[in-house]
């Protein structure tokens, strides 16, 4: 798909991987609706990016809010051909600790945001994409989701996060198959260790220890590298139904 002139929605687009992707799509000639929480920096980010960006505040887990945000995106951008889902949260607790079993509430919350929120955006965005005229490469739309290497190499204490990201991996192929006859593609990126707000609470020494586990390049990934892969998925018409690890050959050990 040629991004030039296309409308896009990016969930979690006000920071981290989502912000980098927003900027990459705009650099390629697209326009972006940033879908993020009302408490995010979305309004400021959209103003800084100029006329190529709008901010549509919403909680991805709320059906009516996402419906309204996507409909506003379609109205103001003319149409949406691209949906990149970066909204997500993390949590770390062992299945059983000295205090007892893993609390259920945070597990539910992580699954709600990372799984239900991702699918909520997928289904609503796709329902608008299928009304598009196919562009010259044959697509009516492209969906890019965000999983994690934790889906495959979950570490101690990552049970809720790994379960949620594994579910995103699991939905990728069936969504791609569901939408194939409608000419909408779906892929997922599984990043390794990236310099994002999820790691922002760690000090430099802790981040250095993590980076040392990456075979090559021996560093944390940059959000711009995620954005570059998202762009390549959008632009390459044969990428469909695939989960791509973006991790410098990292395989996470049991304990970080």
- Catalytic residue at 81? no
Confidence of residue 196 (pLDDT cuts 50, 70, 90): confident
Residues comprising the chain, all counted: 256
Say whether pLDDT at 24 is over 80.
yes
Residues with Cβ within 8 Å of 250's Cβ and at least 6 positions away in sequence, in order, are: 149, 153, 192, 193, 213, 214, 215
Helices 117-129 and 159-180 pack at an angle, to 10 degrees, of 20
Say whether pLDDT at 209 is over 80.
no
Q: Tens digits of per-residue pLDDT, 220-246?
A: 999 999 999 999 999 999 999 999 999
Confidence of residue 204 (pLDDT cuts 50, 70, 90): confident
Q: How many CA atoms lie within 13 A of 135 on its CB side?
A: 22
Residue ranges per structural domain of the chain = 7-203+221-246
Helix (H) or strand (E) holding 36: strand 31-36
Residue 89: per-residue pLDDT: 94
206 against 42, higher pLDDT: 42
Q: What is the 3-state secondary structure (H, E, C) of 124-172?
A: HHHHHHCCCCCCCCCCCEEEEEECCCHHHHCCCCCHHHHHHHHHHHHHH
Of the candidates 126, 220, 222, the one whose C-alpha atom is nearest the C-alpha of residue 176 is 126
Total-model pTM: 0.95
Q: Tens digits of per-residue pLDDT, 53-103?
A: 999 999 999 999 999 999 999 999 999 999 999 999 999 999 999 999 999
Please, which residues bridge with residue 7 across strands?
A: 31
Please, which residues bridge with residue 189 across strands?
A: 146, 244
Residue 213: per-residue pLDDT: 86
Of the candidates 34, 36, 26, the one whose C-alpha atom is nearest the C-alpha of residue 5 is 26
Of the candidates 37, 69, 42, the one whose C-alpha atom is nearest the C-alpha of residue 55 is 42
Q: Which of 55, 81, 91, 161 is catalytic?
A: 161
Write down the architecture of domain 7-203+221-246 according to CATH.
3-Layer(aba) Sandwich (3.40)
């Amino acid at each position: 798909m040629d991004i030039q002139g296309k409308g896009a929605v990016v969930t979690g687009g006000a920071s981290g991987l989502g912000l980098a992707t927003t900027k990459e799509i705009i650099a390629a000639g697209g326009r972006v609706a940033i879908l993020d929480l009302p408490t995010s920096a979305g309004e400021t980010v959209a103003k800084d990016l100029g006329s190529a960006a709008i901010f549509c505040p919403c909680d991805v887990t709320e059906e009516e809010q996402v419906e309204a945000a996507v409909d506003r995106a379609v109205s103001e951008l003319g149409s949406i051909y691209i949906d990149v889902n970066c909204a997500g949260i993390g949590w770390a607790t062992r299945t059983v600790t000295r205090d007892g079993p893993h609390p259920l509430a945070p597990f539910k919350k992580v699954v709600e945001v990372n799984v239900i929120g991702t699918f909520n955006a997928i289904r609503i965005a796709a329902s608008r994409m299928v009304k598009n005229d196919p562009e010259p490469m044959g697509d009516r739309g492209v969906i890019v989701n965000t999983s994690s290497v934790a889906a495959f190499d979950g570490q101690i204490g990552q049970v809720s996060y790994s379960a949620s990201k594994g579910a995103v991996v699991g939905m990728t192929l069936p969504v791609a198959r569901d939408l194939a006859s409608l000419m909408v593609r779906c892929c997922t990126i599984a990043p390794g260790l990236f310099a994002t707000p999820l790691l922002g609470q760690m000090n430099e020494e802790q981040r250095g220890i993590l980076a040392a586990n990456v075979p090559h390049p021996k560093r944390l990934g940059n959000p711009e590298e995620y954005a570059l892969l998202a762009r390549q998925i959008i632009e390459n018409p044969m990428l469909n139904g695939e989960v791509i690890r973006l991790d410098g050959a990292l395989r996470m050990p049991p304990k970080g």
